[in-house]
């Protein structure tokens, strides 16, 4: 399938923002709910993969090395809609690792948490999932594996950071439901409604095994880059005092150069701490040196400098 033309993508983006502007003007309450839901969905959708268990087996052909398979849970990977549908998964590359003790091969495989949970509840489902995982590795890398395996006492071979970097997959947008109304659509569904072309990421389906014909196959999700981890921004905190050295207010200046609008910032202030979050960019949590009046606190974003100024009166 041909890739969408840049002009078509620009037109669709313009139409999307027009729809959002109309929603904000005609139904601001629905717009606020919609945007809040997007932020909540994004946090869940962008959560990193989590290790579940580690399988240890051997590569019989061609090199005879030990193979460790990190079986992971990842909400980024969609769950199959029907029991007979292929099971989506994301796979990292097969790596050869050399440490002081041994040389071994390592691969990360991620499934939707509901798929893994089903395997935990029914051993036959887990056996089937492991069988298909082995078959994928054999077919994709032209290997012969021993189907005798053990579950390691640890849940992850290697570091968590390496596993996250290895798994860079993501599912296509969810299909549009006919029950959705305009105010209930997600961003992905709105783009779909505007005529977005079918997701063209490459997929791989395993051939059906005659002994497993009634069970679902697995389907690989093509790789995409993981969102960046939020960083701690630079900041300056000062306490203003009166002539008698009594604290009057706390001023907090936070540098947010990648932020273009205050609407991107989530600010939470209590009497003794402050939390600033910008999705996929920044996160700052501070314990305040004095108790403040959160109701009288003001926040101003200085657009030209990319600085958020927070003034917190001390009662």
Q: Looking at the structure, do residues 102 and 170 belong to the same domain, yes or no?
A: yes
For the beta carbon of residue 68, count every other beta carbon within 10 angstroms: 20
**What is the reported pLDDT for 43?**
61
Asked if residue 129 and residue 108 are part of one domain, the reply reads yes
- Is 281 found in the same domain as 215? no
pLDDT single digits (tens) 19-36: 777 777 787 787 777 777
Examine the pLDDT at 125 and tell me if it is beyond 80. yes
CATH for 247: 2.60.40.790
193 and 249 both lie in a single domain = no
Beta bridge partners of 87: 218
* Same domain, yes or no: 181 and 73: yes
The domain boundary residue, chosen from 227, 248, 276: 227
Q: What is the mean pLDDT of the chain?
A: 77
In the listed set 227, 255, 285, which residue is the last one of a domain according to the structure?
A: 227
130 burial class (0-12, 13-18, 19+ CB within 10 angstroms)?
buried
Q: What is the mean pLDDT of residues 92-119?
A: 87
Confidence grade of residue 223 (pLDDT, cut at 50, 70, 90): low
| Tens-place pLDDT, residues 228-262 | 678 899 999 999 999 898 999 999 999 998 888 77
| Same domain assignment for residues 100 and 180 | yes
State whether 63 and 179 are in the same domain: yes
The tally of domains found in the chain comes to 2
Give Cα 246 distance to the centre of its chain: 46
Tell me the mean pLDDT in the region 198-226.
47
**Section 196-219 average pLDDT:** 43
Question: What confidence score (pLDDT) does residue 227 get?
Answer: 55
Query: Is residue 76 domain-shared with residue 184, that is, in the same domain?
Result: yes
Give yes or no: residues 206 and 279 share one domain: no
Domain boundary among 171, 196, 227: 227
Residues 6+ apart with CB under 8 A from 19: 182, 190
User: The domain containing residue 9 runs over which residues?
Assistant: 1-227
pLDDT (tens digit per residue) in 129-179: 899 899 999 988 898 998 889 998 888 888 888 888 888 744 433 333 333
Average pLDDT over residues 83-98: 86
Is residue 218 domain-shared with residue 263, that is, in the same domain? no
In this prediction, residue 44 carries a pLDDT of 59
């Amino acid at each position: 399938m041909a890739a969408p033309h840049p002009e078509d993508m620009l037109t669709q983006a313009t139409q999307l923002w027009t729809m959002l502007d109309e929603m904000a003007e005609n139904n601001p309450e629905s717009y606020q709910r919609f945007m809040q839901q997007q932020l909540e969905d994004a946090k869940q959708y962008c959560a990193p993969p989590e290790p579940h268990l580690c399988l240890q087996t051997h590569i019989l052909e061609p090199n005879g090395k030990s193979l460790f398979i990190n079986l992971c849970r990842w909400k980024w990977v969609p769950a199959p809609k029907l029991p007979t549908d292929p099971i989506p998964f994301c796979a990292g590359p097969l790596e050869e690792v050399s440490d002081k003790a041994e040389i071994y091969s390592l691969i990360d495989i991620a499934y939707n948490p509901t798929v893994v949970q089903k395997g935990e509840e029914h051993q036959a489902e887990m056996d089937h999932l492991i069988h298909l995982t082995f078959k994928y590795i054999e077919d994709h890398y032209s290997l012969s594996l021993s189907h005798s395996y053990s579950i390691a006492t640890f849940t992850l071979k290697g570091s968590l950071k390496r596993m996250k970097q290895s798994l860079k997959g993501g599912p296509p947008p969810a299909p549009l439901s006919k029950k959705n109304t305009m105010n209930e659509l997600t961003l992905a569904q709105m783009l779909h409604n505007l005529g977005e072309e079918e997701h063209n990421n490459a997929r791989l389906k395993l051939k059906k095994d005659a002994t497993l014909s009634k069970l679902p196959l697995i389907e690989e999700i093509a790789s995409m880059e993981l969102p960046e981890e939020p960083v701690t921004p630079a900041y300056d905190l000062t306490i203003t005092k009166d002539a008698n050295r009594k604290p009057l207010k706390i001023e907090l200046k936070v540098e947010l150069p990648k932020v273009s609008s205050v609407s991107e910032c989530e600010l939470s202030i209590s009497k003794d701490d402050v939390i600033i979050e910008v999705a996929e960019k920044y996160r700052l949590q501070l314990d305040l040196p004095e108790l403040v009046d959160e109701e009288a606190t003001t926040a101003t974003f200085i657009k030209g400098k990319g600085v958020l100024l927070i003034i917190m009166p001390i009662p």
